[in-house]
Structure 1
Amino acid sequence: MKIHLEKYNPDWQQSFDQIKIELLGIIGALNPHIEHIGSTSVEGLSAKPIIDILVGLKNEKDLEKVADPLMRQGYCYYEIYNTTMPYRRFFTRHKTDSHHAPGIIKNEEDVPASTEEHNQRLAHIHILTYGSEHWIRHIAFRDYLRAHLAVKDAYQDLKSKLSDKEWKDGNDYNGAKDIFIKTEEAKAINWYEANKQVLGDDPMILLE
């Protein structure tokens, strides 16, 4: 499959806002913290037109409470990833008129690999514990890209080159970005921690 990238679109923020409202209506009783992350959250960065959303829950045990209500509202649950990433629950939100959204993915052979299915995705929902190391690394990397133009430009160049190639699936494409992301993510976390010391003890106070 080919990964289709689009130039930054300010409508992506509006899409996030709409899905955030929807998520609050579904799992709002768990008092989630909901953030726009990934390339669609960084102004000027091209991206797959799929909104990455980070949902933070205060209690890890609440991760077990999100699958049923989200699946009832048409979200696809990737239960298969729970083994390798037990700290996270992952869902996809497809376009309203899509017929490509299975309810749950339990086995490797069930993972959709078609370009058509991928193009019907509206959002990826990553649910984990608020304030955890995994929460912080996502937020730190987003804010680091927003604040460091040279890093954002280097990431843009890498994504453009990779989008010209053929990939087995989205995970295959993401794997090709892994070295860059892990390198810059480590710098981002150090930057985040330094700013946290300046701003106070609350780890969720972020420099924009």
Structure 2
Amino acid sequence: MKIHIEKYNPNWIIQYKHIKNQLLSIFNSFNPIIEHIGSTSIPSLSAKPIIDIAVGIINITDLNKTVNPMIDNQYIYYEIYNKQLPQRRFFVGLKDNKDYAKFQSKYSYNDNIPHNKIQKYKLSHIHIWQYNSDDWIRHIAFRDYLIEHPKDMLQYEELKKDLSKKEWLDGNEYNDEKNDFIKNLEIKAILWYQNINQSND
């Protein structure tokens, strides 16, 4: 499969705000903190047109309580990722809920996920973590660092454009190919983010 990369689109912010309002309603009892993350959150950066959103819950014991409300609101639950990332719950939102019946509400085995088919229907990726956990901070730091460091942002953009020219088994294989670059950048981003926040204290 090909990974489709688009030039930055200001409409991504509008889409994020709409989804955020829906998530605030779904998780009203948890008082979540919700942030736009990933490439669509970074002005001027080309990206896959899929909105990545972080939902931060205060109590980690509430993590599994988020699953049924998301399924009830027609988000697809990727339970398969829980073994690899036990402190996260991951969901896919579709562009049109009319298409929800084309897929399972929950995928527990990787072989069952129709990666090629589902790609064109995706609107959002919802990542649920404990607020201010290491994973939460890592993603916020990465976003904020790239916004403030355009040279690194352009390097990341060029990598994504180059990789988008190749054929991939699925999105996970594409992400694996970016992993070394991202991990190196994350180290710088987290140090920068920690220094910024210490200065503000």
TM-score normalised over the length of structure 1:
0.94
Q: Which amino acid aligns with 2:190?
A: I
Q: Which amino acid aligns with 1:72?
A: D
Residue pair 1:50, 1:124 contacting (<8 A) in 2 also: yes
Identity, in percent, stands at 49
1:109 aligns with 111
C-alpha separation in 2, matches of 1:83 and 1:102: 19
C-alpha separation in 2, matches of 1:113 and 1:18: 25
2:160 aligns with 159
> What whole-Å deviation, never above 9, does each CA across 1:146-192 have from its counterpart, x for those lacking one?
00010000001000000000000000101110001000001000000
> What whole-Å deviation, never above 9, does each CA across 1:188-207 have from its counterpart, x for those lacking one?
0000011111001xxxxxxx
C-alpha separation in 2, matches of 1:90 and 1:173: 18
* Structure 2 residue 190 is matched with structure 1 residue 197: no
Query: Pairwise mapping of residues 10-49 of structure 1 onto structure 2 (< 5 A)?
Result: 10-49=10-49
1:61 aligns with 61
Q: Which amino acid aligns with 2:6?
A: E
Of Structure 1 and Structure 2, the greater helix share is in: 2
Query: Pairwise mapping of residues 167-206 of structure 1 onto structure 2 (< 5 A)?
Result: 167-200=168-201
C-alpha separation in 2, matches of 1:101 and 1:120: 10
C-alpha separation in 2, matches of 1:142 and 1:112: 29
2:133 aligns with 132
Q: What SS does the corresponding residue of 2:36 show, helix, strand or coil?
A: strand
Q: What SS does the corresponding residue of 1:98 show, helix, strand or coil?
A: helix
Residue pair 1:56, 1:135 contacting (<8 A) in 2 also: yes
Q: Which consecutive unaligned segments of at least 5 residues does structure 2 have? A: none
| Displacement of 1:98 | 2.4
| Displacement of 1:101 | 3.5
1:204 aligns with none
TM-score normalised over the length of structure 2:
0.97
| Displacement of 1:8 | 0.2
C-alpha separation in 2, matches of 1:101 and 1:51: 20
Q: Which amino acid aligns with 2:151?
A: A
2:8 aligns with 8
Q: Is the deviation greater in 94-103 or in 69-78?
A: 94-103
C-alpha separation in 2, matches of 1:28 and 1:12: 24
Q: Is the deviation greater in 94-103 or in 54-63?
A: 94-103
1:206 aligns with none
Aligned residues: 199
2:119 aligns with 118
Residue pair 1:94, 1:101 contacting (<8 A) in 2 also: no
| Displacement of 1:112 | 1.9
1:145 aligns with 146
